[in-house]
Amino acid sequence: MAFNQILKEIKKVFSKISEKEIGIFVYEVKQAKRVYVVGAGRSGLVAKNLAMRLVRLEKETYIVHETVNPKMKSGDLLVAISGSGETNDVLDAVKISRMMGTRILTLTANKNSSIIKISHEVIIIPAQIPVRLGNHYHLRELIGVPERSATKSLFELSALIFLEVAVSRM
Amino acid sequence: MAFNQILKEIKKVFSKISEKEIGIFVYEVKQAKRVYVVGAGRSGLVAKNLAMRLVRLEKETYIVHETVNPKMKSGDLLVAISGSGETNDVLDAVKISRMMGTRILTLTANKNSSIIKISHEVIIIPAQIPVRLGNHYHLRELIGVPERSATKSLFELSALIFLEVAVSRM
Amino acid sequence: MAFNQILKEIKKVFSKISEKEIGIFVYEVKQAKRVYVVGAGRSGLVAKNLAMRLVRLEKETYIVHETVNPKMKSGDLLVAISGSGETNDVLDAVKISRMMGTRILTLTANKNSSIIKISHEVIIIPAQIPVRLGNHYHLRELIGVPERSATKSLFELSALIFLEVAVSRM
Amino acid sequence: MAFNQILKEIKKVFSKISEKEIGIFVYEVKQAKRVYVVGAGRSGLVAKNLAMRLVRLEKETYIVHETVNPKMKSGDLLVAISGSGETNDVLDAVKISRMMGTRILTLTANKNSSIIKISHEVIIIPAQIPVRLGNHYHLRELIGVPERSATKSLFELSALIFLEVAVSRM
């Protein structure tokens, strides 16, 4: 059957994620006065999906790169989503957050990424690490970077499901 | 384990979707000169994810409700995503598409919805039908409509996975 | 000279706007706990420009129709921008705001519009009233509605300049 | 009167712009197979306003940084809008456009800017040059960069009026 392969891959990813990771997420979000989310490309859609869920729970939530955003403060939380952990747009936001005293919780597939070193908490989504596509993530479609296969979207799909489950615990 | 419930639900949804549905999707998109996608709220994120994938395959693709869009023509395809099949913003776009002679392919959970009657092709994603939340979908967060549980996000998650698999066949 | 005509028209508009209108705007924004802005099409860009200005003054500001927004409360202010005063997307937001107990300040060119009847304060920008283009403002480019001339953009240009001056008084 | 100062400043800007500049704009856009527009912050709103106008004239137009965009080709035109001519987000898009063989028409207030050296055509909007606000334009509100006064918005206001007049000549 057509969908079995991808469902099996997703199941394998979650076999390596535990209740503890949900606990970290719920704790950090509950502690935060306000939540910012950030992601690039399709991870950006996962970030927006999270923001939509949190706003309905009446959590004050902002999406980095939208038209306007308030100044960050200490006591805020940034949830950063990046498969490679090297996407420049996301790294820039994380660096600025550190400077502003904001706490950072990162979801990534890459245990050895730059983003991990500057995050306070990390949740590893053990999917295949997406290939890093250069410095200008948000401009790369102007150049026409070739597309990945469905199993290569494992990080985004798994991160989305993880966050759905984690938010429904709140 | 925390994630088993949602994975089991997703698996159940896909047990009722066949290769034929993938075939319909691939055929319609391949036939189309240009593709428009539309969805509201979280289904809108699923629509954007699809658009990102199609653009990388160098398919001319547009997202309804973005800042600018070209005039629709006959020969174009609208992919509409709506769990309830009753969301006004999406229905409005579908009606206008019909008027412009654009072909319509709909993904919905609701076999008895209004959208089905005005679509050329329908792919049923047999998840629980989300409750319809009134006429002003894009304004409902101003009112503060309460959030659904994770298993109630089954339609969006399943539609996303369906589209990932279908696009990777192209 | 090419630009004289439009500059003369803008000057004529402002000859009929007084200091009092600036006072109303500044008072309402200062009173408000949080500000929401709304506009459709090019008036939507004027609304976003206002939001960018207010956020820099550290006013908590939200743009209706962005990905997420918090629930409205009494004590908030909605600034609605609509040349015709009849644009459905804007009227819908104004009606919901009334329901939520939010105060409404409207900028419009049309003294006899529906929006005036449901606004608490109105600032008339006495430019030519743009023709109302039907119910589905945000979908009308899919149909290909023909474009207006530059002098017919007088409302948006004048509203923008009005708001720039008014904000710089704060 | 409150608005005289800003209107006088705008008039002064246009006293130094000639018919020739309109001619350059109209020629470049007419020659182009497709038009891309780019700008950051409030200049980004000016770019979007231009895109809305061009789409109505049935010109195929895209906005850099929107969710999806087709690959650039030679024969396309990028209209770049940057007061300082040094905004990184805009410079990145201009560099990529050059690489793709796309023609570049820039509107800027800064005769000595980096963007001028890599543009094919330049229209100087002789307003006061906005202070450059560092590398992360789209993140700067997270830091809370202080706001400019109304007369300091001269570049955006003048660029908007220039483009309104120029498009209405097409």
Report the gap between the CA of D147 and the closest CA in chain C (Å). Answer: 5
pLDDT (0 to 100) of residue C79: 98
Report the gap between the CA of C99 and the closest CA in chain D (Å). Answer: 31
> What is the CA A114 to chain-centroid distance, rounded?
14
Residues in CB range of B124: below 8 A, 6 or more apart? B17, B108, B109, B111
DSSP A89-147: HHHHHHHHHHHHT-EEEEEES-TT-HHHHT-SEEEE--SPPPPP--S-GGGHHHHTPPP
- Please tell me the distance from the alpha carbon of residue A79 to that of residue B157, in angstroms, as a whole number: 21
Q: Three-class SS of residue A53?
A: helix
Residue A31: other Cβ atoms inside 10 A: 10
Chain D residue nearest residue A100, CA to CA:
D143
Alpha-carbon distance values, D22 to B22, B161, D37, D76, D90 (Å): 51, 49, 17, 19, 22
**B144 has a pLDDT exceeding 80:** no
SS3 content of chain B, % helix, strand, coil (to 5): 50, 15, 35
**D45 in contact with B at a CB cutoff of 8 Å?**
no
Over residues D65-94, the mean pLDDT reads 95
Tens-digit pLDDT profile for residues D29-75? 999 999 999 999 999 999 999 999 999 999 999 999 999 999 999 99
Neighboring chain D residues of B51 at a CB cutoff of 8 Å: 67-68
- A55 in the Ramachandran plot: left (φ > 0), alpha (ψ -120 to 50) or beta? alpha
Residue C111 vs residue D130, higher pLDDT = C111
Tokens 């002789």 found at: D126
Over residues B26-34, the mean pLDDT reads 98
**A99 in contact with D at a CB cutoff of 8 Å?**
yes
**B1 has a pLDDT exceeding 70:** no
Strands D103-108 and D121-124: parallel
Tens-digit pLDDT profile for residues A11-43? 999 999 999 999 999 999 999 999 999 999 999
Give me Rg for the CA atoms of chain C. 15
C/D interface, count of CB pairs below 8 Å: 95
pLDDT (0 to 100) of residue C2: 76
- Please tell me the distance from the alpha carbon of residue C80 to that of residue A2, in angstroms, as a whole number: 49
- Paired with B121 in beta bridges are B105
Neighboring chain C residues of D153 at a CB cutoff of 8 Å: 164
Neighboring chain A residues of B149 at a CB cutoff of 8 Å: 168
- Please tell me the distance from the alpha carbon of residue A89 to that of residue D95, in angstroms, as a whole number: 17
Buried b (16+ CB within 10 A) or exposed e, C109-119: bbeebbbeeeb
Label residue C83 by pLDDT band (50, 70, 90). very high
Tens-digit pLDDT profile for residues B51-83? 999 999 999 999 999 999 999 999 999 999 999
Q: Is A70 within 8 Å of C58 when comparing Cβ atoms?
A: yes
Alpha-carbon distance values, B123 to A72, B24, B34 (Å): 43, 8, 20
Over residues A75-82, the mean pLDDT reads 98
pLDDT (0 to 100) of residue B140: 73
**B141 has a pLDDT exceeding 90:** no
Over residues B38-54, the mean pLDDT reads 96
Q: Three-class SS of residue D164?
A: helix
- Range of weakest confidence among B145-154, B160-169, D36-45: B145-154
Q: Output the CA torsion B149→B153→B154→B159 (10° steps).
A: 180
* Three-state secondary structure readout of B113-148: CHHHHCCCEEEECCCCCCCCCCCCHHHHHHHCCCCC
**A138 in contact with D at a CB cutoff of 8 Å?**
yes
Instruction: Point out the residue among A52, A63, A70 whose CB comes nearest to the CB of C55.
Output: A70
Residues in CB range of C74: below 8 A, 6 or more apart? C100, C101, C102
Over residues C81-91, the mean pLDDT reads 94
Average of per-residue pLDDT values in chain C: 91
Residue B134: other Cβ atoms inside 10 A: 13
Label residue C151 by pLDDT band (50, 70, 90). low
Report the gap between the CA of D99 and the closest CA in chain C (Å). Answer: 31
pLDDT (0 to 100) of residue C74: 93
Q: Three-class SS of residue D66?
A: coil
Chain C residue nearest residue D42, CA to CA:
C49
How many degrees, rounded to 5, is the angle at CA A38 between CA C102 and CA C65?
30
**B65 in contact with A at a CB cutoff of 8 Å?**
no
Tens-digit pLDDT profile for residues D106-156? 999 999 999 999 999 999 999 987 665 555 666 777 777 665 555 579 999
Residue D170 vs residue B146, higher pLDDT = D170
Chain D residue nearest residue A101, CA to CA:
D143
Tens-digit pLDDT profile for residues A82-122? 999 999 999 999 999 999 999 999 999 999 999 999 999 99
Global ipTM: 0.93
Report the gap between the CA of B99 and the closest CA in chain A (Å). Answer: 31
Chain C residue nearest residue A44, CA to CA:
C67
